[in-house]
Amino acid sequence: MNMYFIGMCISMIIYILISILVSRRVKDANDYYVAGRRASVFLIAGSLIASYTSTGMFMGDAAQCYDGAFTSIVLFAGMQSAGYIIGGVFFGRYLRRSGVMTIPEFFGKRFASIKMRKLAALTAIIMMAVYLLSVIQGIGTLMNAVTDVEYNICIILTLVVFTIITVMAGSTGVLITDTLMATLFTGSLIISAIVISEKMGGGLQR
């Protein structure tokens, strides 16, 4: 056990405590699934940033850039970021007007079909399962490399924290913890860029 592992454990405990506090405000399914439809732009943006700047970017995209795929990664990142904006502006309004709480519910209502709702649910489960497995594997690999703690223990810790946040606090807890992570990512990136630039002799002229 080293200082990095201790720091990670402290951050996980903080996220769990936040989820416990937020869970007291979850009164019904509307609060749980869509944060009572009261989430601010700041929280939504923070959650999107955290979702994108996860292990997929810090490990997968970074590794591919080192392998020489910088241009394609930048192009893909731009397209994906644009998708968030376009989806929210041109599709999000219809989701809100429909009054539904899940994507499968939207498709079932839009096409008046139980079969379409089940198909959307199955598609969402498969896609999110694949995404979740990749993220958990990335976190486990990163924690193992940084802390030297056994890989399986890192995976278990990750699953426990994810489960507690999601089950106890719902979408509100996820939005808040994601925004905190996004703030941490952004601050760390800015500080790292300045420090690296200084070390490489490219700092600001004094």
Instruction: Note whether residue 152 is domain-resident.
Output: yes
* Domain ranges, residue 129: 3-22+32-195
Q: Which pair of tokens denotes residue 113?
A: 């079909």
Residue in 152, 177, 149 with CA at minimum distance from that of residue 54:
177
Domain count, the chain: 1
| DSSP string for residues in 31-57 | HHHHGGG---HHHHHHHHHHHHSSHII
Kindly state whether residue 41 falls inside one of the protein's structural domains.
yes
Strands (E), 35-169: none
User: What is the tens place of the pLDDT at every residue in 23-64?
Assistant: 988 888 888 988 888 888 889 888 888 877 777 676 666 666
Residue 77 lies inside a defined structural domain of this protein: yes
pTM of the model: 0.77
CA distance 178 to 176: 5
pLDDT digits (tens, 9 = 90+) for 124-147: 999 888 888 888 888 888 888 888
